[in-house]
């Protein structure tokens, strides 16, 4: 089953590219995302079978060395997360909106996965560090109670403690704000 997601975040673009190459050579995984981000960071995300993703991330971490900022492996990643990373999520209606900001791009994806697994919400986007000074944010929608529950789950995840920059839940967002999100 190819449902695991793994990521490394480095503070060096050359080391990030080198680490991404090591990740792809270490195991049979699919490259989901590989890009430079603000503040000179580099991010590599892979998907595949759990064991392959774990091997890939370990190889990436070893290659990154002291340039490693953060990493993760999420077995059983929720199906909404990957399209949201690519800002390709298809959302039919926006009700309440939740926004979570993180200081780590890895933390944003972990929070997004926890949020969407906790409540009946739709991920709109997981924005990773481009034009954000290395920060990341998650935007999701659903009914007010579901969005509140999802945001709380994302914020309380052990792996993101100390990495949350803040969050809001907007019960009835103005149409112009909704348009700006898309």
pLDDT in tens, 132-173: 777 899 999 999 999 999 999 999 999 999 999 999 999 999
Residue that is written with structure tokens 């999420």 in the block: 74
Total Cβ atoms within 10 A of residue 156? 13
Residue 1 has pLDDT above 60, yes or no: no
User: Per CATH, which fold does 81-181 belong to?
Assistant: Alpha-Beta Plaits (3.30.70)
Domain with CATH 3.30.70.1710 in the chain: 4-74, 81-181
- Tell how far CA 47 is from the center of its chain: 13
pLDDT in tens, 92-143: 888 899 999 999 999 999 999 999 999 999 999 999 877 777 789 999 999 9
Residue 2 has pLDDT above 70, yes or no: no
Residue 79 contacts by C-beta under 8 Å, 6 or more apart in sequence? none
CATH number assigned to the domain covering 4-74: 3.30.70.1710
pLDDT in tens, 82-94: 999 887 777 888 8
Please indicate, yes or no, whether the overall pTM of this predicted structure exceeds 0.85.
yes
User: What's the pLDDT band for 15 if we cut at 50, 70, 90?
Assistant: very high
**pLDDT at res. 14:** 97
DSSP 8-state symbol, 173: -
């Amino acid at each position: 089953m190819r449902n695991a997601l793994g990521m490394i975040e480095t503070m060096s673009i050359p080391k990030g590219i080198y680490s991404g190459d090591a990740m792809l050579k270490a195991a049979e995984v699919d490259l989901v995302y590989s890009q430079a981000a603000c503040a000179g960071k580099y991010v590599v995300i892979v998907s595949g079978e759990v064991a392959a993703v774990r091997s890939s991330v370990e190889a990436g971490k070893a290659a990154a060395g002291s340039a490693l900022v953060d990493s993760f492996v999420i077995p059983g990643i929720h199906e909404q997360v990957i399209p949201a990373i690519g800002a390709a999520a298809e959302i039919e209606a926006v009700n309440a909106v939740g926004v979570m900001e993180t200081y780590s791009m890895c933390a944003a994806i972990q929070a997004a996965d926890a949020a969407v697994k906790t409540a009946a919400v739709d991920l709109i986007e997981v924005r990773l560090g481009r034009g954000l000074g290395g920060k990341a944010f998650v935007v999701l929608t659903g009914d007010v109670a579901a969005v509140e529950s999802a945001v709380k789950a994302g914020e309380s995840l052990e792996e993101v403690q100390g990495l949350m920059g803040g969050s809001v839940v907007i019960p009835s967002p103005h149409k112009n704000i909704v348009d700006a999100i898309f």
